[in-house]
Structure 1
């Protein structure tokens, strides 16, 4: 990432909509503070007013979730470098879900009111932020399908495919091996499975030669195989508007594939 996280944000938004030099300067000059957020810290809490800033992820991973009245948790999306964590509440008065740090995060806290003003005053920036929100909504729809209509094996395979592709698109990893900073319980909360079922499914995927697991490290051994197993089609990620540099065929991303 650039020495200035706001310059990085300006480049990212320029990939979603054509920004003028003045638009880029307006984004790059937004008031912000860079800070470290410890793992498990809440950045947004359901039922509370949004904080006076929107956090841009510089490094690390976060997740969105909702709780039932009995405390059961459903993780509804993951977020990594370049994602804005509270864009959904930019124009809402009360948060309808929570956002929590999965790992330690470096974030740029962008003044919420200033971001709202620049989005309304500059249509191209507003369009780019709108596309950000639309891509998030597309991911939510895919996650609903994943939990509602795929079996356990496909759910786990699908989420591993998504994480690998998004890490590549964000230029976090270049090889087929990546670190999955999620416990089996958290994977279960993302896929509607128990931690025991997650454990069995991961072992089965490894036994079939689709992945290799060493602690938190996952290696994709057969990309085409795990993609088929997970019913994975990256269309919902809209990579053409999220990471235009991501031009290689998906089958060429991993050196080991079926």
Structure 2
């Protein structure tokens, strides 16, 4: 069977993501490129996996944005993380029988689905790749800790500034952003659900940032006009992202 070009693109995205924090040998790259994948497009708000499901495959995000979330009483939503191309937001399902949260599309997006059995074979054959995937989950945990600190102890202004710094660097690391400009399809309602704030509060903080000439938005792009001042406002230390090259 001839593989689709998008399947190859998907696995290249995974390789770029892994190599943004560590190194792969040529043999390891080839093994990843041979993984079997099926392609699944999602519409905005459509679930990749729902809370309580028992997945048999992991979803690698090829294009678009997705997010992890938890639904609370009366349909209230807490967004737990945002994800860009190269991320595998349900990687934990490789070792956890049942997910305790959902993963959904933020924008129209495309996932490459990789069977658990194939990933397990890859990690048994290449222990260093297993270590890199484990490292990805540890970095994920670091991002969770940074979000908890932002929601619990930072001001709304500092928390949003911190999120913008993080999302820029994560995209820059995989070639999706440069020159302090990056895609930003996140709506104010999404920011509110991520930061535990109201949309009105989010709107007010974004206006303050624009008035301070820190950021602007252009056609669903975030333009960071003063990186140093944004980092200062966020008290941003990128160590928790463990990126090899920090060009920002």
Query: Quick check: TM above 0.5?
Result: yes
Answering whether residue 169 of structure 2 is matched by residue 165 of structure 1, we say yes
Contact persistence 1:17–1:125 (CA under 8 A) = no
Alignment partner, residue 183 of structure 2: 179
Distance 1:199 1:128, change over 3 A: same
Aligned to 1:117: 121
Equivalent position of 2:73 in the other structure: 69
For the residue of structure 2 that corresponds to 1:54, the secondary structure is: strand
**Helix, strand or coil at the partner of 2:67:** strand
Tell me whether 1:32 sits opposite 2:8 in the alignment.
Answer: no
In structure 1, runs of 5+ residues without a counterpart are 241-245, 251-258
CA contact (8 A) 1:61 1:78 kept: yes
Change (3 A) 1:21 1:219: closer
Question: Could you tell me how far 1:101 is from its partner in structure 2?
Answer: 0.7
2-11 or 114-123, larger mean C-alpha shift: 2-11
> Aligned ranges for residues 75-224 of structure 1 at < 5 Å?
75-214=79-218, 216-224=220-228
Change (3 A) 1:212 1:124: same
Secondary structure at the counterpart of residue 203 of structure 2: helix
Q: TM-score, normalised by structure 1?
A: 0.86
> Given the two structures, how large is their TM-score scaled by the length of structure 2?
0.90
Per-residue Cα deviation, 1:130-187 (whole angstroms, up to 9, x for no partner): 0111111110110010101101111111111111111211211223233321111110
Query: In the alignment, which residue of structure 2 is the partner of 1:256?
Result: none
Whole-angstrom distance in 2 between the partners of 1:107 and 1:98: 15
- Given candidates 40, 46, 51, the residue that maps to 1:41 is 46
Contact 2:7/2:38 (<8 A) preserved? no
Q: 1:2 to 1:92 in 2, by over 3 A?
A: closer
What is the CA distance between 1:127 and its match in structure 2?
A: 0.6
CA positional deviation for 1:48: 1.6
Q: Give the number of equivalent residue pairs.
A: 243
Q: 1:195 to 1:111 in 2, by over 3 A?
A: same
**Separation of aligned partners in 2, 1:135 and 1:47:** 24
- 1:21 Cα deviation from its structure 2 partner: 4.2
Instruction: Please state how far the C-alpha of 1:18 moved relative to its aligned partner.
Output: 5.2
Alpha-carbon distance in 2 for matches of 1:14, 1:209: 34
Stretch deviating more after TM superposition (75-84 or 17-26): 17-26
Q: Is the 8 A contact 2:20 2:243 kept in 1?
A: no
